[in-house]
Chain A
Amino acid sequence: MSVEQVLIERSGNQCELCASTEGLAVMEVAPSDGTAAESILVCGECAALLESPEQNPNHWRCLNDSMWSPAPAVQVTAYRILKKIASEGWPQDMLDMLYLEPEVQEWADAGLDEVDDNAEPTRDNHGNILLEGDSVSIIKDLVVKGAGFTAKQGTTVKNIKMAPGDPTHIQGRVNGTMIFLKTEFLKKS
């Protein structure tokens, strides 16, 4: 049985991301060995948006269902898309609920790292490059939308995480809540 036939059977002959039946094609989920286990079946619309998911974030609300697929390749794709559009807010809520088994998480992160290699570096207010795990200080009081508190000037945020595909934000824990912070209001500690 060909990879395509396996995927058609696995998916019920529909896009594994949005359930459309139009223009279905096989897509390998990098890094992939080309097998069905490391590929997904996607429709024309999803395929066109995969390179730059931020072009139409609302299309990816379909991941609300598909991120729970039992197929790791679908989980990995959903995770990477959500990471890229996380600053929209609702995708972060979905990421907060998603769980990937450790080996699947490793696969998902490997793909993100490939993307990051070509990305614009994330810099603080003074132009210093920020990296995963760095500590930063907040240089201005920031009202945190949706969380009902203000992240105070002078607060140190340890062990920051990058916002893939978005060098203007980082993620960090303030008042026990994981939030996005604009890098223009941060200084590397």
Chain B
Amino acid sequence: MPTREDALTLLKRYNKNPALIQHGLQVEACMRHFAARAGGDVETWGMVGLLHDLDYEQYPEQHCIKAAEIMEEAGYSQEIIRAMLSHAWGICTDVEPLSAMEKTLYAVDELSGLVNACVLVRPSKSIMDLGLKSVKKKFKTKRFAAGVDRETVRKGAQMLEMELDQLITEVIEAMKADAEAIGVA
């Protein structure tokens, strides 16, 4: 089974855009946080987060499908590959998120992008002084980071049986805990 370092190397092999690598690291941080909270395997959940957009830069027209091929060849488990496929449920794949790990990935992927954008527009460029209220305000402003599908985030919260406020708070906390490594310190 590949290690976390192997996964990061694989991500960097297929992605030269620093923003995509940073997104992988941010989703990984969220996944590890939620794994610890849910009693899941932190390493497995983290790897799913890190690699979920593995093929997006080089194979946007085959997003998820190509990643599954690459990951299978690299020796990743079917559990990890299925979770990766499920994050694009209804968009690029018909793999519905069913396990806690898959539902979490579905819920935090878009939301972590929104939180990152909230950080980037702050004068401090830091998540350390970012609160729930600020993210909620931006969530309601449809033109802010318009690429973030609010409906997917809401659906993700429902899947996890969490209030939206709670989900946002957890994602902020997850990203704060790893702020230096994921570029939001």
Contacts and interface: CB of A to CB of B under 8 A. Distances in A.
Contact of A70 (B88, B91, B123): B123
A99 B143 contact: yes
Interface residues of A, number: 19
Contacts of B121: 68, 99
B91 A147 contact: yes
Nearest to B93: A148
B174 to A, nearest CB: 20
Contacts, number: 48
Contacts of B146: 96-97, 99
Given A61-B17, A90-B17, A99 B123 contact: no
A12 B125 CA distance: 17
A93 interface: yes
A64 B19 contact: yes
Contact of A99 (B17, B64, B91, B144): B144
B145 interface: yes
Interface string B42-70: 00000000000000010011011000000
Interface of A: 61, 64, 68, 70, 89-90, 93-99, 145-149, 177
7 contacts: A64-B18, A64-B19, A68-B125, A90-B17, A99-B121, A99-B145, A146-B63
